[in-house]
Amino acid sequence: MHHNFVLLTDFMASNSIGEILRITSFGESHGSAMGGVIDGFPPGIEIDINFIQKELDRRKPGQSSIVTQRKETDKIDILSGIFNGKSTGTPIAFIVKNNDQRSRDYSTIADIYRPSHADYTYHKKYGIADYRGGGRSSARETLVRVAAGAFAKLLLKKKSINILAFSHTIGTLTINSKNQIFTNEIIESNPVRCPDNKMAQQIITMLKKLAKEGDSIGGIVECRISGVPVGLGEPVYEKLSANLAKAMMGINAAKGFEIGSGFEGIRMKGSEQNDSFVIIDNQIKTQTNNSGGIQGGISNGEEIVFRVAFKAPASISRLQKSVDKSGNEVEFSVKGRHDPCVVPRAVPVVEAMAALVIADHYMRNSINKTFE
């Protein structure tokens, strides 16, 4: 076959997110280190390194039997921006070394465009295909987000803003989360981060079966943010809901985002959908929360509730068909142990991205009294 596609070369800008609290991410999954720079972090904030390390541990591989066993300690090393345990207002740079860089046996698949991976699009866009396990498109990059998000959580804690995500659905196994209250403890009490322990056991059984079959499955993470004051979000293009959507859809394998009543809610009539205002304890509240805590793009003081859909991981060990770089149709299978579902490890990533968006908008909203 003489398929001869053109190798465009392009570059990869846009590794930053946030307007005032701004994160820049770097590193490849099989390079020497991943890392990030946090610019705009306020001075004088106590930095609890243990907390940040614990957040990274929630994401790291090998933490349980149902996730990939890549051996990484994922220890954070902070290079700047902190002095005597407090932030100084200067950029906070951190790195996490990649220990498990040994070349696994990628040689057999080095020339194959793996289905639903980024091999093909990266190769066509950048003229370079990283055969060492995904390079920059690897989900390993999400550790930068988790670390940066942990710093953001330290800020939000000072304002009693709390972020809690959990596995809402995996495959066909789903919980009814509506009007239920969950704690971090219950969520972290099982390796799939499902707040219903019975359902968690079913999920674990299913995931083990899938792993054995060399297959994988998708799911939904639900995230709730409490304590958000009225006023976060900047119309018209920088709505809080819009920036949450962007942050979530930028996570690997994300296929959908919905807030409040979301996709299901489209069947509701306005008279059912509308969240009536009421007075409770001398406070203006809404009777229902179909808005998911955001109205007109601005937080209304109610709990922010959104969900993110993740597809099944593309890395499966079953035999697959594809095309190689020379344009030949091939059959192949990927060796190694992969996550049968991204959802459990996506939970801290969703929380981290939410923390970054909320902290950034909190600071944007703080400009309000400048000329009063």
Number of alpha carbons in the 13 Å side-chain half-sphere of residue 213? 10
Q: Name residues contacting a second copy, limited to 132-161 (CB under 8 A).
A: 135-137, 141, 155, 158-159
User: Could you say which of 315, 347, 350, 351 contacts a second copy (CB under 8 A)?
Assistant: 315
Residue 198 makes contact with a second copy by CB under 8 A: no
CB nearer to a second copy: pick between 32 and 183: 32
CB nearer to a second copy: pick between 191 and 262: 262
What is the C-alpha separation between 41 and 82, in angstroms, rounded?
Answer: 10
What is the C-alpha separation between 43 and 87, in angstroms, rounded?
Answer: 5
Q: Name residues contacting a second copy, limited to 223-282 (CB under 8 A).
A: 230-231, 233-239, 241-250, 252, 254-263, 265-279, 282
Minimum gap (Å) between residue 196 Cβ and a second copy: 17
Minimum gap (Å) between residue 310 Cβ and a second copy: 7
Residue with tokens 């596609």: 5
Minimum gap (Å) between residue 54 Cβ and a second copy: 21
Residue 290 makes contact with a second copy by CB under 8 A: yes
Please choose, from the candidates 356, 360, 349, 355, the residue with its C-alpha nearest in 3D space to the C-alpha of residue 141: 349
Rounded to an integer, what is the distance from CA 238 to the centroid of its chain? 20
Find out whether 92 and 151 touch, Cβ atoms under 8 Å.
yes
Annotate each residue in 31-60 with x if it binds a second copy (CB under 8 A) or - if it does not, as one string. xxxxx-x-xxxxxxx---------------
Q: Name residues contacting a second copy, limited to 92-121 (CB under 8 A).
A: 92-93, 95, 113, 115-118, 120-121
What amino acid occupies position 102? R
What is the C-alpha separation between 250 and 330, in angstroms, rounded?
Answer: 30
Q: Name residues contacting a second copy, limited to 320-349 (CB under 8 A).
A: 320-323, 327, 329
Q: Is the preceding omega at residue 236 within 30 degrees of 0, hence cis?
A: yes
CB nearer to a second copy: pick between 84 and 179: 84
Q: Residue 332, exposed/middle/buried by CB under 10 A (0-12, 13-18, 19+)?
A: middle
CB nearer to a second copy: pick between 183 and 250: 250
Residue 80 makes contact with a second copy by CB under 8 A: yes
What is the C-alpha separation between 165 and 292, in angstroms, rounded?
Answer: 14
Find out whether 161 and 67 touch, Cβ atoms under 8 Å.
no
Residue 126 makes contact with a second copy by CB under 8 A: yes
Residue 162 makes contact with a second copy by CB under 8 A: no
* Piece of the chain touching a second copy by CB under 8 A; list 51-59, 180-188, 286-294, 344-352: 286-294
